[in-house]
Every structure is written in structure tokens, then in C-alpha cells.
């Protein structure tokens, strides 16, 4: 039967408003999120062309990339300051709601949107930011766009898009204690590479995915872009609905029931075919640590730094050599012998409350190793408030972590938080590119629990062997 469809195809069909053969489709965009770095030129473009924002009510802004995480109103870099002020001005001029630095809801745009309940199953969501894929965890078709397209959506609430191919990434089995959503996605990318999903929209399925909380699903979808995918999706279920229920921008009462009924249809039909299927085994997963300068250069905490000559292709060998040189690592070194200088816990990948709880559970009763500087940056104002309510900030501070204000911070180091040349960092963020966290800084991607353990030991440590002190923090 031709009517069997994947989740992606269903959302696509509900939003394609104009299709012509040989041309990209025009699809309607239900929600655009805007931040300060990729929007100024878009608003300027509107001004120059005398155009308005078509649906300011479907457009929401915040500033996150540039904001300092200490003394946040004192932005010393004049260009950062100008960028933030430009966003405020643009939002005023075009009637767009902005969760600015005075708002308790301000935060990393992909933490904030779901928290406010702006992200719904079945929506099309764009933002001038590649990690927009995060919102796919709710079964929304969400992807990053460039600034020209930001302008396009502001002006028309539509986007010209070619249809992507579909890929099922099926995560079989169950996660063992100490393993997290971050290990799943790092493991998938280490196994299949950083461009295996280029041209595809991924749908994550399988037992391990179903068992994840909403926040964990966001961690998985967040890094879809690191696999090259246009977007990552997870079909909505009760976990999704109970997360959303009662949030500000969610429908209420009868409208809620109707919405849930509609959302329940958003699943891939039995027997529908994906263009490609790949599988991954969660049962045998071991905590992951990256060793190189691309998110795919990762391995098990129990493994050693690989030997470049053992890679199958010439390009891979060259890339691994360059990476190890940059990372100052020797082949054969045990991952658990690599010493670190800095720890960053935060970002739209792992800056949510459950991430902070997991890190705090490890840190509780311990001290950050001598010579290590560790910081915790909540993903949003709300995460910060919640963490303080639960006393997580106290646990971190007592252990010697710095407790900061919300923002992107050292995920990309555009604000005053960055690595010094040669410093090595255990980071819960999503990219370990050269210079990502500061020029000549060395980034190793890990889960929040692994980052906290590394902070305490001063080197990477298998969190499965961790001796938790006192009761782990309870929810």
C-alpha cells in the first residue's frame, strides 16, 4: 500500500504548501527561534527590502552565545555588546518577543524553547543554529538554517526545501548503569562517522530510545548534526506528552486533548520503508570519550588512543595524525591516563536539570582535583533556579566547581569563558573541533557524569566504577 508513511513524510506533507517538480518545495514553518549571532544580517535584509516579519507571534528570540556567565550585565567586549543590543532593537522594531538577560527564561535557545513548551510534536521549527535538531526529540521537524534563510522565514514564514531521504537509526537493547544518552550518540557517530547521515533525516527508534527521558532524547537529537543529518526525530509518546503538559506555550483543556490526539498519529506506519536503516547496540555500550578533533573520533573509556596507521583510508590516516598532533596525544595511551586541566558542564547538549543532577551525584562529597578548573553552566535561567532549589549548586560549590549563569559559554567560547592554548578539557558539549573552546585548546567530549568524575580525578575515569558518596541526589 502506498499510504504507509514515515514520521518525517507525515510532517513534511502537513507543511508542504507548494510543490512543483524540479524545484524545492515551499514548506510552512510553525516556529522560528532567533539568537543574536545569526540574525542581525537577516533583520537588516528585511529593512533594506522594506519587508516585515510575517508572523512575529511564531517567532521568539533570546541571547545566549555571547552572554557572560558571570556578572552578565557587564559585557566588556564592545562588539558582543553591540550584537546583543542589536537583537533587542530588532525585536522591538519588528514586534518579536525576546527573552532577554532580564528574563528568568533566558537561556540557550534549544534549552529554552522546549522548557517554555514552544516545541510541539509535528511542528516545523527552524533557527539559525545547527543544533536546532534538538527539538526533534519531540517529533518536531527541526533543523538549522543560514542567515539568508532566517530572513526568508522572517519575511514569509516559509522555507524552500528539498525533501530529505529517511534513515532509521535503531538503538537496540538497554543502557547499563553509568551509561547515558550522550554515550549513545557519541557511540553512534564513532561507529558510523560524521557524515553518514548527510542528506538524510534520522528517526531514532528502538528500545533504548523509548526508555530515555525527554531530556535524554534531546541530547541524542541535538548531535544529529554531528552525524551530518538535516534533522533527527523521535516519535512522540507518553513521555513527550507528560513533559509538555501544563507548559506555558502548550494548549490547555480541550485544545490539549485534541492536540494529543493529533500527536498520537505522528509515528511511522507499520511497514513504511526508510531509505536506509542502521542499528546500534546499547547493551554493550561503554562510556565514550573523544580523542580527536571531530566528534566521530571517539572511543571507549577502557580503550587506548588509536594508531593512525591502522585506519583504513589515506584520508582517515592523515586526519587522525593531524588530530593527535593537535591534541598532543600518543597512540596507545590509555584513555583513562589522559590528564585534564579544565571541565565544562553545560550547553544545549547537556545543560539541562537531569544533566546537572547526574554530574552532582558524582561530585557529591568529593573535591575537584588540584590544578583542575571546573565550571557548571546551566542551560537556562530556569535550569539554574531549579538546580538551586534542589541544592545542586551547593554540591558543586562545595566540591570546588564554579557555578555560573546560563548561556552557551565554553561550548563555543564566544563569551569570556575559553580554554588557554594547550589546555585540555573534559566537556559535555557537542564539538571538539580545533579551537572550538579557545585557540589551541583541546576538547574531549563526554557525558556529564564522566565530566564530573574527570574533574574529581584530574583524568578520565570510568564512571561505572564510581563510588557514590552518601545518597545520590534524588529527584
Partner 1 sequence: MQMEAFVQHTGKVAPVDRVNVDTDAIIPKQFLKRIERTGFGQFLFYEWRFSQNGDVNPNFSLNQERYQGSSVLISRANFGCGSSREHAPWAILDYGFKVVIAPSFADIFYNNCFKNGILPIKLSEEQVEELFQRTEKHEGYELSVDLEAKKLTDAHGLDISFDLDEHRRQFLLQGLDDIGLTLKLGDQITAYEQQHQARLAHQA
Identify whether the C-beta of residue 161 lies closer than 8 Å to the C-beta of residue 18.
no
Contact window for ligand SF4 (CB under 6 A) among 107-115, 333-341, 387-395, 451-459: 107-115
Instruction: Provide, rounded to whole angstroms, the least separation between the CB of residue 316 and ligand SF4.
Output: 25
Residues 376-435 that bind partner 1 (CB under 8 A): 412-414, 421, 431, 433-435
To which H or E segment does residue 185 belong?
Answer: helix 181-192
Instruction: Provide, rounded to whole angstroms, the least separation between the CB of residue 96 and ligand SF4.
Output: 18
Concatenated DSSP letters of 56-84: GGGEEEE--SS--SSSTT----HHHHHHH
Residues 282-311 that bind partner 1 (CB under 8 A): 294
Identify whether the C-beta of residue 100 lies closer than 8 Å to the C-beta of residue 63.
yes
Residues 395-414 that bind ligand SF4 (CB under 6 A): 408, 411-412
How remote is the C-alpha of 2 from its chain's centroid?
35
Which of 1, 50, 162, 474 is close enough to bind partner 1 by CB under 8 A? 162
348 near partner 1 (CB under 8 A): no
Instruction: Provide, rounded to whole angstroms, the least separation between the CB of residue 444 and partner 1.
Output: 16
Instruction: Provide, rounded to whole angstroms, the least separation between the CB of residue 37 and partner 1.
Output: 5
108 near ligand SF4 (CB under 6 A): yes
152 near partner 1 (CB under 8 A): yes
Instruction: Provide, rounded to whole angstroms, the least separation between the CB of residue 340 and partner 1.
Output: 21
457 near partner 1 (CB under 8 A): no
**Residue 411 binding result from partner 1, ligand SF4, none, given CB thresholds of 5 to 8 Å by partner type:** ligand SF4
**Residue 227 binding result from partner 1, ligand SF4, none, given CB thresholds of 5 to 8 Å by partner type:** none
Give the count of beta carbons closer than 10 Å to the beta carbon of residue 336: 17
- CA-derived radius of gyration, the chain: 22
Cell numbers found for residue 263: 500527536
Residues 335-364 that bind ligand SF4 (CB under 6 A): 347-348
The C-alpha atoms of residue 230 and residue 202 are separated, in whole angstroms, by: 8
Concatenated DSSP letters of 284-328: T---EEE-SSSTT-EEETTSBPPPGGGSSSHHHHHHHHHHHHHHT
Residue the block writes with cell 518536531:
140
| Opening angle at CA 377, ends 217 and 356, nearest 5 | 50
**Residue 11 binding result from partner 1, ligand SF4, none, given CB thresholds of 5 to 8 Å by partner type:** none
Residues 36-65 that bind ligand SF4 (CB under 6 A): 64-65
Based on CB atoms, which residue is closest to ligand SF4, 65 or 352?
A: 65
Contact window for ligand SF4 (CB under 6 A) among 25-33, 104-112, 226-234, 432-440: 104-112
22 near partner 1 (CB under 8 A): yes
Which of 53, 107, 113, 129 is close enough to bind partner 1 by CB under 8 A? 129
Based on CB atoms, which residue is closest to ligand SF4, 205 or 347?
A: 347
Which of 4, 92, 245, 318 is close enough to bind partner 1 by CB under 8 A? 318
The C-alpha atoms of residue 338 and residue 74 are separated, in whole angstroms, by: 36
- x/- binding map, residues 80-99, to partner 1, per CB under 8 A? x-xx--x-------------
Give the total residue count for the chain.
475
Q: In what order do the strands lie in the sheet with 16-18?
A: 16-18, 25-28, 158-161
393 near ligand SF4 (CB under 6 A): no
Which of 71, 257, 440, 465 is close enough to bind partner 1 by CB under 8 A? 440
Identify whether the C-beta of residue 183 lies closer than 8 Å to the C-beta of residue 173.
no
123 near ligand SF4 (CB under 6 A): no
The C-alpha atoms of residue 232 and residue 239 are separated, in whole angstroms, by: 17
Contact window for partner 1 (CB under 8 A) among 50-58, 168-176, 336-344, 371-379: 50-58
Cell numbers found for residue 161: 526545501
CA trace torsion 126, 132, 137, 139 (10° rounding): 20
Give the count of beta carbons closer than 10 Å to the beta carbon of residue 116: 19
How remote is the C-alpha of 198 from its chain's centroid?
18
The C-alpha atoms of residue 367 and residue 398 are separated, in whole angstroms, by: 7
Instruction: Provide, rounded to whole angstroms, the least separation between the CB of residue 149 and ligand SF4.
Output: 17
Instruction: Provide, rounded to whole angstroms, the least separation between the CB of residue 62 and partner 1.
Output: 16
- x/- binding map, residues 415-454, to ligand SF4, per CB under 6 A? --------------xx------------------------
**Residue 92 binding result from ligand SF4, partner 1, none, given CB thresholds of 5 to 8 Å by partner type:** none
**Residue 64 binding result from partner 1, ligand SF4, none, given CB thresholds of 5 to 8 Å by partner type:** ligand SF4
Give the count of beta carbons closer than 10 Å to the beta carbon of residue 41: 13
Which residues are within 8 A (CB) of 241 and not within 5 positions of it... i.e. 6 or more apart? Answer: 260, 263
Give the count of beta carbons closer than 10 Å to the beta carbon of residue 470: 9
Q: Which residues bind ligand SF4 (CB under 6 A)?
A: 64-65, 108-110, 129, 131, 347-348, 408, 411-412, 429-430
Amino acid at each position: 500500500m502506498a499510504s504507509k508513511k514515515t514520521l518525517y513524510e507525515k510532517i513534511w506533507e502537513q507543511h508542504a504548501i507548494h510543490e512543483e517538480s524540479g524545484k524545492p518545495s515551499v514548506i510552512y514553518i510553525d516556529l522560528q527561534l532567533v539568537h543574536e549571532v545569526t540574525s542581525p544580517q537577516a533583520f537588516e535584509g528585511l529593512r533594506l527590502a522594506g519587508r516585515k516579519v510575517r508572523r512575529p507571534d511564531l517567532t521568539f528570540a533570546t541571547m545566549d552565545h555571547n552572554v557572560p556567565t558571570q556578572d552578565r550585565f557587564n559585557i566588556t567586549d564592545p562588539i558582543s555588546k553591540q550584537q546583543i543590543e542589536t537583537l533587542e532593537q530588532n525585536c522591538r522594531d519588528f514586534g518579536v518577543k525576546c527573552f532577554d538577560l532580564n528574563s528568568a527564561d533566558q537561556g540557550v535557545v534549544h534549552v529554552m524553547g522546549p522548557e517554555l513548551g514552544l516545541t510541539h510534536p509535528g511542528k516545523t521549527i527552524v533557527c539559525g543554529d545547527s543544533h536546532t535538531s534538538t527539538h526533534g526529540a519531540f517529533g518536531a521537524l527541526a533543523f538549522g538554517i543560514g542567515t539568508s534563510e532566517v530572513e526568508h522565514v522572517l519575511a514569509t514564514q516559509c522555507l524552500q526545501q528539498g525533501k530529505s531521504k529517511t534513515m532509521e537509526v535503531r538503538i537496540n537493547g538497554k543502557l547499563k548503569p553509568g551509561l547515558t544518552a550522550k554515550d549513545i550518540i557519541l557511540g553512534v557517530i564513532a561507529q558510523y562517522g560524521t557524515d553518514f547521515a548527510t542528506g538524510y533525516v534520522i528517526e531514532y527508534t528502538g528500545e533504548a530510545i523509548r526508555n530515555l527521558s525527554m531530556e535524554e532524547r534531546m541530547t541524542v537529537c541535538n548531535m544529529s548534526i554531528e552525524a551530518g543529518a538535516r534533522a533527527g526525530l523521535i516519535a512522540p509518546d507518553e513521555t513527550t506528552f507528560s513533559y509538555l503538559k501544563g507548559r506555558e506555550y502548550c494548549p490547555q483543556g480541550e485544545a490539549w486533548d485534541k492536540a494529543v490526539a493529533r500527536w498520537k498519529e505522528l509515528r511511522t506506519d507499520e511497514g513504511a520503508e526508510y531509505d536506509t536503516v542502521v542499528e546500534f547496540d546499547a547493551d554493550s555500550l561503554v562510556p565514550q570519550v573523544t580523542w580527536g578533533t571531530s566528534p566521530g573520533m571517539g572511543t571507549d573509556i577502557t580503550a587506548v588512543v588509536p594508531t593512525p596507521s591502522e585506519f583504513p583510508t589515506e584520508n582517515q590516516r592523515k586526519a587522525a595524525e593531524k588530530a593527535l598532533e593537535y591534541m598532543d596525544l600518543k597512540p596507545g595511551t590509555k584513555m583513562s591516563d589522559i590528564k585534564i586541566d579544565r571541565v565544562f558542564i553545560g550547553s544545549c547538549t547537556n545543560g539541562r536539570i537531569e544533566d546537572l543532577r547526574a554530574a552532582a551525584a558524582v561530585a557529591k562529597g568529593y573535591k575537584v582535583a588540584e590544578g583542575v578548573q571546573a565550571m557548571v553552566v546551566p542551560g537556562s535561567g530556569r535550569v539554574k533556579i531549579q538546580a538551586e532549589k534542589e541544592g545542586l549548586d551547593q554540591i558543586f560549590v562545595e566540591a570546588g566547581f564554579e557555578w555560573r549563569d546560563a548561556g552557551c559559554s565554553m561550548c563555543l567560547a564566544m563569551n569570556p569563558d575559553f580554554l588557554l592554548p594547550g589546555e585540555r578539557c573534559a566537556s559535555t558539549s557537542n564539538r571538539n573541533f580545533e579551537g572550538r573552546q579557545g585557540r589551541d585548546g583541546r576538547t574531549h567530549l563526554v557525558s556529564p557524569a564522566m565530566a564530573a568524575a574527570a574533574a574529581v580525578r584530574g583524568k578520565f575515569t570510568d564512571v561505572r566504577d564510581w563510588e557514590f558518596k552518601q545518597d545520590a541526589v534524588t529527584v
